[in-house]
Amino acid sequence: MIHGKTYQYILEGIEKKGALFFLLLDPDKTSADKIDDLITHIESADVDALLIGGSLILDSDFNDFVKTIKSKTKIPVVIFPGGVEQVSPYADAILFLSIISGRNPENLIGKHVIAAPLIKRINLEPISTAYILVESGKTTTAEFLSNSKPIPRHKPDLAAAHALAAEYLGMKLIYLEAGSGAELSVPEEMIYVVSKMCSVPIIVGGGIRSPEVARKKVEAGAKIIVVGNHFDNHENFSELEKFTSAVHYKLNRLSEV
């Protein structure tokens, strides 16, 4: 099967490194004067891709932000859209997300109908992604804004059935999401059960704040780890390499963690 360039890069990266580390940048929380320092750390730490997006963007020009980041690095930039307005021709790809844990038709197909012609016109690579919200202690912004219920955290089989249905529908990635800044991250048992059921790569994000926790998610079966919140604080930039080392287990850098 012929895949888009970015999806192919993801599959090859997983094959080579075992699992990948994506850094999530929220345009509202990334101050302009810290971007150069951030990019230096990102490149030396071997971050695999940058996700750009947010459930709600209040203060920033999304397109400008993507353009600025793209002009400063060759690392793939993938849009992680919080809405149809978060589309930019400067990115390499967009996660074409369907919130399959919910039953809100707007998030299953409605917004996609509006975004699809625009994505085609600007020649952006869509990567069809099953987005599964997982209960994580408190109501998250994603849950509230999508007006949908998350999967209960003690129901791994339910998550696995959703993920398998998504795979049969042809989706290329499964994203198990606890929500940005979540109190509790996605349980390892759920990641394990979903990974045994599915053959497409599993992304895990939300509430991951240490390399050790990131490694546990990878050991459970995650192929891509997403961290955002922890790196909103620029004092943590120097920890980036510990995260990537923990995740890139095939590169034999685990002893450094």
SS3 132: strand
CA 53 to chain centre: 10
CB of 76 or CB of 228, closer to ligand 1GP: 228
Q: Helices 156-168 and 188-197, interaxial angle, to 10°?
A: 30
Identify residues 21-80 at the interface with ligand 1GP (CB under 6 A).
Answer: 24
CB 226 → ligand 1GP: shortest distance, Å? 4
Among 136, 180, 195, 244, binds ligand 1GP (CB under 6 A): 180
CA distances from 157 to 55, 99, 153 (A): 27, 18, 10
The reply on whether position 205 binds ligand 1GP by CB under 6 A is yes
CB of 73 or CB of 141, closer to ligand 1GP: 141
DSSP conformation class of 124 = P
CB 34 → ligand 1GP: shortest distance, Å? 17
CB of 233 or CB of 252, closer to ligand 1GP: 233
CB of 56 or CB of 165, closer to ligand 1GP: 56
Helix (H) / strand (E) element for 143: namely helix 141-146
The reply on whether position 182 binds ligand 1GP by CB under 6 A is yes
CB of 20 or CB of 117, closer to ligand 1GP: 20
Spatial separation of the C-alpha atoms in residues 9 and 71, rounded to whole Å: 20
CB 26 → ligand 1GP: shortest distance, Å? 8
CB 232 → ligand 1GP: shortest distance, Å? 8
Q: What is the b/e burial string over 98-136, where b = at least 16 CB atoms within 10 angstroms of the residue's CB?
A: bbbbbeeeebeeebbeebeeebeeeebbbbbbbbbbbbb
Count, residues near ligand 1GP per rule CB under 6 A: 14
- Amino acid occupying residue 48: D
The reply on whether position 148 binds ligand 1GP by CB under 6 A is no
Q: Nearest 5°: phi and psi at 202? A: -105, 125
Among 146, 229, 244, 245, binds ligand 1GP (CB under 6 A): 229
The reply on whether position 228 binds ligand 1GP by CB under 6 A is yes
Spatial separation of the C-alpha atoms in residues 169 and 243, rounded to whole Å: 33
Which residues form the interface with ligand 1GP (CB under 6 A)?
24, 177, 180-182, 205-208, 226-230
